Amino acid sequence: MTPIKGLYAVTPDLDDTERLCEIVTEAILGGATLVQYRNKQAGHVLRIAQAQALLAICRQHGVPLIINDHVKLCLALDADGVHIGGTDGDIAATRQRIGNKLLGASCYNRIDLALQAQAAGADYVAFGACFSSQTKPQAPEAALSLFNMNPALTVPKVAIGGITLDNAPQAVAAGADMLAVIGSLWGSSDIRRTAQQFSRLYNGPSSS
Catalytic residue list: 38, 106, 136
**List of long-range contacts for 74-80, beta carbons under 8 Å, 24+ apart:** 74/98, 74/101, 76/48, 77/48, 77/51, 77/52, 79/37, 79/51, 79/55, 80/2
**List of long-range contacts for 105-114, beta carbons under 8 Å, 24+ apart:** 106/160, 108/139, 108/140, 108/142, 109/140, 109/141, 109/142, 109/143, 109/146, 111/146, 111/149, 111/150, 111/153, 113/86, 114/146, 114/150, 114/153, 114/157
Q: Which residues pair with 103 in a beta bridge?
A: 82
The Cα 203–Cα 5 span in angstroms is 10
Which H or E run includes 110? none
Which of left, alpha, beta for 121 (phi over 0: left; psi -120 to 50: alpha)? left
The Cα 158–Cα 9 span in angstroms is 12
